[in-house]
Amino acid sequence: VNTGRGEAAAPVPAAQSTTIKNKVLLPVERLEGFCEAVLRNAGLNPYNARLVAESLVFADLRGIGSHGVTRLSGYLGRIRAGVMNLDPAMTIEADFPASALLNAKNGLGQIAGMKAMALAMEKARTQGIGFVGVKESNHFGTAAFFAMKALPHDMIGLVATNASPAMAPYGAKTPLLGTNPLAVAIPAALQKPIVLDMATSLVARGKIRLASLTGQKIPLGWALDAEGKPTEEAKAALAGSLEPIAGPKGAGLSLVIDLLCGVLTGSTLTGEVKNLVTDNSGAAKTGHTFAAINVAMFLDPGEFKANIDRVILRIKSLPSTVEGSSIYLPGEIEANLETKRRMEGIPLSVEVLAGLSELAERYKVPKL
Amino acid sequence: VNTGRGEAAAPVPAAQSTTIKNKVLLPVERLEGFCEAVLRNAGLNPYNARLVAESLVFADLRGIGSHGVTRLSGYLGRIRAGVMNLDPAMTIEADFPASALLNAKNGLGQIAGMKAMALAMEKARTQGIGFVGVKESNHFGTAAFFAMKALPHDMIGLVATNASPAMAPYGAKTPLLGTNPLAVAIPAALQKPIVLDMATSLVARGKIRLASLTGQKIPLGWALDAEGKPTEEAKAALAGSLEPIAGPKGAGLSLVIDLLCGVLTGSTLTGEVKNLVTDNSGAAKTGHTFAAINVAMFLDPGEFKANIDRVILRIKSLPSTVEGSSIYLPGEIEANLETKRRMEGIPLSVEVLAGLSELAERYKVPKL
């Protein structure tokens, strides 16, 4: 068992999985390999299959089960429905010294996201900052996955995406805005990097979808049903709308992210992105934006990262609201969980595992 | 009276002011001229005196009284205390094709802000995006004032600043983070531009300061007192800490803005910005960031602005949560108020007016 104090723990043998409290613990490599095999058999090329598998398992490693391997079935459903392009011939539609517009040609969001983030970093290297918009894309997993790619290059990564309607504009009844998340990753020296990845809704819709999948109730205040009434039922919430963070502020942030990701990229107007799971009537037309800020343009990266460490330690040494409990920085709990799960394996519920078994049969891959 | 339906209204004669419900209505030009005269007599050069006056009156025009002329006394207090530079010889410490770092040399934030926003736009014109950090600055008024400068150039403006400690990091008791606001301005065609300007605290501390000044209570949930208990007393709240929007999300956003504005610019570490009003022990060392995105790099600005109009009209035509009431976009209420107040004058409370009278005496300027 990983104690969280840096002591080595015995990893779960690769060929074996452990069952705890209705959950099965799966070794990371095995889960990643499974997703990769399914995606390859679905027709993705090896590089892209590996990339998408890594993106999904990254989410499960960090405790974001809503964006993990549970999404695989939705992706494959879109591919089977013929509304997502397996091997997109992406094009750069606009190219300025510090910015570019990438047409994802309706491929998986992860494929476009990796290319766009790399392009933003390449531009930031010489220009100071790089900004890349992506049009005609699809769900890309978690925003943090791409923002964190900036960290080893001593850059700050900023990533946003729009999403299908889930949240009403402030003062309106009808969901038109997506949960439109924003991620910012900032490198540290010896401490864990700061990684903020937040939906502009009070909770990510994926959490409600996961609750719906596992039959759990949701707390009052998370969402409204289709009649605009507060609800504890996950299914009713999925048919209604999510509450934004802090009313007009969250709804405003979500709108602004949509205008940048959807309207500025020429992908869609607000309210037109198609839902990954429930709407296979055509291309999703998701839009994203990726930015990289080169720390070296302003100050020595070593000095910057040492200063980030100082801030982290300063915050962690403040008196806690709950006596004796630790203060965690954005991304710290996720990083701790990732360390633990790389050692112990990733816990998946039997329901999620049953879904993966169906995929195994359909795509002729050995079951997990 | 301005009916809000575009009919002409008789403006208040420039030499006259009207009293309503303990408020005095002052013509815009007169209030602006007064602030300018005070700032010139305090030693600012004519250009900077006009700029700061415009920035303060801009806030009052748009209903952000917390950032309006009530701030003048705080600015002048810092100048008298010798902790703010009247005529800063600003330097550009780093200059990349798409980014720059400006040292404000402890001048008023408005002076550095105007230069930095102009520089960001100049870079965006050729590079696609421009990003300018500002170090060793001071309070700059509202962030929207600068973000909106991008609008006539068919650019999107993004502005953030850090501020003195007012809010505890998530899980901590001690205020260390500022209310660190973020503004985004997006141009429209015939509709009003989208202008989001939000503190990462549930409310701006300026609102609590204004309540403290006028002796009003604040709603429970806005703030905690120094013991970490919810309070309705504005003075106790000023001694305690503000609540962030949505707990860890707002606290995380505030931290990330501080790391960009304060640590990346090399201005300060988190928690070290000095309070404008209560701490004249040295330079405030506020940091800001300014970004401009050139719409033309991705698509025709006319097409983009027409699409923003379409989104605005789509949202405004949704069913409202309160039957018969309008749906407002970010910045719309502020723009409506600005139109009205340019016609009717700006309402100032007798308390605020008394404060301005003291300044009139001190700086030998005719009273309002």
To the nearest whole Å, the CA of A220 is away from the closest chain B CA by 15
Mean pLDDT of the region B285-300: 97
Which residue from A174, A194, A307 is facing B269, i.e. has the nearest CB? A307
Cα distances (angstroms) measured from residue B222 to each of A322, B169, B233: 20, 15, 10
* pLDDT the model gives residue A299: 95
Nearest CA to A174 among A132, A217, A224? A224
Which residue from B269, B311, B328 is facing A171, i.e. has the nearest CB? B328
CB-CB under 8 Å, A320 with B255: no
**In the structure encoding, which two tokens stand for residue B340, read together?**
């009205």
Query: Residue A1 above 60 pLDDT?
Result: no
Query: Residue A286 above 90 pLDDT?
Result: yes
Residue A337 and residue A10 in contact, taking contact as beta carbons nearer than 8 Å: no
Q: Are strands B346-349 and A241-242 parallel, antiparallel or unpaired?
A: unpaired
To the nearest whole Å, the CA of B281 is away from the closest chain A CA by 22
* pLDDT the model gives residue A289: 98
Mean pLDDT of the region A297-310: 97
Which residue from B245, B291, B315 is facing A172, i.e. has the nearest CB? B315
By CA distance, what is B229's nearest residue in A? A321
The model's confidence at residue A6, banded by pLDDT at 50, 70 and 90, is very low
pLDDT digits (tens, 9 = 90+) for A63-73: 998 899 999 99
Chain-centroid distance of CA B186 in Å reads 17
Of all residues in chain A, the percent with pLDDT exceeding 90 is 81
What gap in Å lies between CA A147 and CA A28, rounded to an integer? 21
A363: three-class secondary structure by DSSP: coil
pLDDT digits (tens, 9 = 90+) for A259-275: 999 999 999 999 999 99
CB-CB under 8 Å, B325 with A128: no
By CA distance, what is A124's nearest residue in B? B98
Interface test with B, best of A203, A315, A323, A325 (most B CBs within 10 A): A315
* pLDDT the model gives residue B18: 64
Mean pLDDT of the region B314-342: 95
Between A4 and A349, whose confidence is greater?
A349
* pLDDT the model gives residue A80: 94
Query: Residue A296 above 50 pLDDT?
Result: yes
Query: Which are the contacts of B346, defined by CB distance < 8 A and separation ≥ 6?
Result: B25, B26, B27, B28, B31, B57, B60, B61
Nearest CA to B110 among B12, B39, B18? B39
Which residue from A174, A194, A271 is facing B255, i.e. has the nearest CB? A194
Q: For all residues of chain A together, what is the average pLDDT? A: 92
To the nearest whole Å, the CA of B169 is away from the closest chain A CA by 7
Query: Which are the contacts of A295, defined by CB distance < 8 A and separation ≥ 6?
Result: A154, A155, A156, A187, A301, A304, A305, B264
What gap in Å lies between CA A245 and CA A222, rounded to an integer? 10
CB-CB under 8 Å, B295 with A259: no
To the nearest whole Å, the CA of B247 is away from the closest chain A CA by 9
B293: three-class secondary structure by DSSP: strand
Mean pLDDT of the region A303-329: 95
The count of CB pairs under 8 A between chains A and B is 233
* pLDDT the model gives residue B156: 98
DSSP secondary structure string for all residues of B301-349: HHHHHHHHHHHHHHHHTSPBSSTTPPP--TTHHHHHHHHHHHHH-EEEE
**In the structure encoding, which two tokens stand for residue B118, read together?**
């102009």
**In the structure encoding, which two tokens stand for residue A11, read together?**
């990893």
Query: Residue A7 above 50 pLDDT?
Result: no
Query: Which are the contacts of B99, defined by CB distance < 8 A and separation ≥ 6?
Result: A127, A128, A129, A293, A294, A297, A298, B123, B130, B131, B132, B133
* pLDDT the model gives residue B19: 64
Mean pLDDT of the region B265-290: 95
By CA distance, what is A134's nearest residue in B? B298
Mean pLDDT of the region B130-136: 98
What gap in Å lies between CA B116 and CA A179, rounded to an integer? 32
pLDDT digits (tens, 9 = 90+) for B300-326: 999 999 999 999 999 999 998 888 899
Task: Count Cβ atoms within 10 A of the Cβ of residue A286 and give its class: 0-12 exposed, 13-18 middle, 19 or more buried.
Answer: buried
pLDDT digits (tens, 9 = 90+) for A322-331: 888 999 999 9
By CA distance, what is B316's nearest residue in A? A172
**In the structure encoding, which two tokens stand for residue B326, read together?**
């309008």
What gap in Å lies between CA A86 and CA A104, rounded to an integer? 11
Query: Residue B2 above 70 pLDDT?
Result: no
Q: For all residues of chain B together, what is the average pLDDT? A: 92
**In the structure encoding, which two tokens stand for residue A63, read together?**
């405790």
Residue numbers in A near B130 (CB within 8 A): 98
**In the structure encoding, which two tokens stand for residue B44, read together?**
């600012």
By CA distance, what is A259's nearest residue in B? B308
* pLDDT the model gives residue B13: 42
Task: Count Cβ atoms within 10 A of the Cβ of residue B323 and give its class: 0-12 exposed, 13-18 middle, 19 or more buried.
Answer: exposed
* pLDDT the model gives residue B20: 63
Residue numbers in B near A291 (CB within 8 A): 129
Residue numbers in A near B298 (CB within 8 A): 94, 99, 101, 133, 264-266
Query: Residue B328 above 60 pLDDT?
Result: yes
pLDDT digits (tens, 9 = 90+) for B230-263: 899 999 998 889 999 988 999 999 999 999 999 9
Nearest CA to A145 among A159, A163, A162? A159
